[in-house]
Chain A
Amino acid sequence: MSATTSSMPKPSSTREPAVAPRSASRRSPARIRRRVLGIVAVLIALVWAFPVYWMLNSSFLPYNRIRSTEPTFFPIGGSLDAYNRVFDSNFLSSLRMSMAVTLITVAAALLFAFLAALALSRFRFRGRKSFILAVLIIQMIPAEGLFISHFKMLEGWHLLNSVVGLSLLYVAAVVPFTIWMLRGFVAGVPRDLEEAAQVDGCSRSQAFFRITLPLLAPGLVASGVYAFLQAWNEFTLALVIMNRPDSMTLPLWLRTFADANRASDWAGIMAGSVLIAVPVIIFFLFVQHRMTSGLVTGAVKG
Chain B
Amino acid sequence: MTRPASTSAVAKQATPPPPVPGHVRPPRRRRGQVLPYVLLIPAIGILIAALGYPLTRQAVMSFQEYGLAQQFGQPPEWVGFDNYIQLFTDSYLWSVIAKSIAFCLTVAATTMIIATALAVLMTVISTGPRLILQIALLLAWAMPHLASLTVWQWIFDSQYGIVNWLLVNLGFDQFAGQSWLLNPLSFFVVAGIVVTWMSVPFVTFAVYAGLTQVPGELHEAASIDGASERQRFQMITVPLIKPVLLIVGLLQIIWDLKVFTQIFVLQDVGGITRDTNLIGTYIYRLGIGEGQFGLAAAASWFMLLLTVTLSLYYVRILLREED
Residues of A that sit less than 8 Å from B by CB = 1-15, 18, 34, 37-42, 44-46, 48-49, 51-52, 54-55, 58, 66-71, 108, 111-113, 115-116, 118-120, 122-125, 128, 131, 133, 136-153, 168-169, 171-173, 175-176, 179, 184-185, 187-192, 215, 218-219, 229, 232-233, 235-236, 239-240, 250-251, 254-255, 258-259, 262, 266, 269-270, 272-274, 276-277, 280-281, 283-285, 288-290, 292-302
Complex: A219 Cα to B7 Cα, angstroms: 13
Q: A4-B130, A55-B150, A236-B264 are in contact. List 15 more A-B contacts (CB 8 A).
A: A9-B211, A10-B216, A13-B216, A48-B136, A71-B160, A122-B36, A147-B296, A176-B47, A235-B261, A236-B280, A254-B147, A270-B151, A270-B154, A281-B138, A281-B139
Docked-complex contact A273 and B150, CB < 8 angstroms: yes
Of the candidate stretches B90-98, B180-188, B304-312, the one touching chain A is B304-312
Docked-complex contact A147 and B9, CB < 8 angstroms: no
Docked-complex contact A299 and B162, CB < 8 angstroms: no
Residues of B within 8 A of A153 (CB): 53-54, 57
List 22 A-B pairs, Cβ < 8 Å.
A11-B214, A12-B123, A14-B217, A34-B124, A38-B128, A48-B201, A51-B155, A52-B143, A67-B159, A116-B44, A123-B32, A137-B308, A140-B254, A142-B303, A144-B283, A146-B300, A149-B58, A153-B53, A173-B50, A250-B144, A293-B3, A301-B9
Residues of A within 8 A of B223 (CB): 15, 18
B265 interfacial contact with A, CB 8 Å: yes
Docked-complex contact A232 and B318, CB < 8 angstroms: no
Residues of A within 8 A of B7 (CB): 293, 297
**Least Cβ–Cβ distance between B231 and chain A, in angstroms:** 14
Within the complex, which residue of B10, B50, B145, B213 is in contact with A251, where a contact is CB–CB below 8 Å? B145
Complex: A241 Cα to B6 Cα, angstroms: 37
Docked-complex contact A6 and B143, CB < 8 angstroms: no
Docked-complex contact B144 and A233, CB < 8 angstroms: yes
The chain A residue sitting closest to B129, CB to CB, is A38
A-B interface, 4 closest residue pairs, ranked by CB to CB distance from nearest: A14-B216, A188-B9, A172-B50, A142-B258
Docked-complex contact B125 and A112, CB < 8 angstroms: no
B244 interfacial contact with A, CB 8 Å: yes
**Least Cβ–Cβ distance between B86 and chain A, in angstroms:** 16
Complex: A6 Cα to B118 Cα, angstroms: 19
Complex: A173 Cα to B50 Cα, angstroms: 8
Residues of A within 8 A of B142 (CB): 229, 277, 280-281, 283-285, 288
The chain A residue sitting closest to B168, CB to CB, is A69
B121 interfacial contact with A, CB 8 Å: yes
Docked-complex contact B43 and A175, CB < 8 angstroms: yes
Residues of A within 8 A of B321 (CB): 302
The chain A residue sitting closest to B144, CB to CB, is A233
Docked-complex contact A148 and B296, CB < 8 angstroms: yes
Per-residue CB contact flags for chain B residues 74-117 toward chain A (1 = under 8 Å, else 0) read: 00000000000000000000000000000000000000000000
**Least Cβ–Cβ distance between A215 and chain B, in angstroms:** 7
Complex: A38 Cα to B144 Cα, angstroms: 29
Within the complex, which residue of B127, B130, B145, B205 is in contact with A233, where a contact is CB–CB below 8 Å? B145
**Least Cβ–Cβ distance between B179 and chain A, in angstroms:** 12
B209 interfacial contact with A, CB 8 Å: yes
Docked-complex contact A171 and B33, CB < 8 angstroms: no
**Least Cβ–Cβ distance between A185 and chain B, in angstroms:** 6
**Least Cβ–Cβ distance between A112 and chain B, in angstroms:** 4
Within the complex, which residue of B54, B150, B261, B264 is in contact with A150, where a contact is CB–CB below 8 Å? B54
Docked-complex contact B3 and A136, CB < 8 angstroms: no
Docked-complex contact B206 and A295, CB < 8 angstroms: yes
Docked-complex contact B46 and A171, CB < 8 angstroms: yes
Residues of B within 8 A of A115 (CB): 39-40, 42-43
B175 interfacial contact with A, CB 8 Å: no
Complex: A293 Cα to B308 Cα, angstroms: 26
Residues of B within 8 A of A58 (CB): 154
B275 interfacial contact with A, CB 8 Å: no
Per-residue CB contact flags for chain B residues 50-71 toward chain A (1 = under 8 Å, else 0) read: 1101110110010000000000
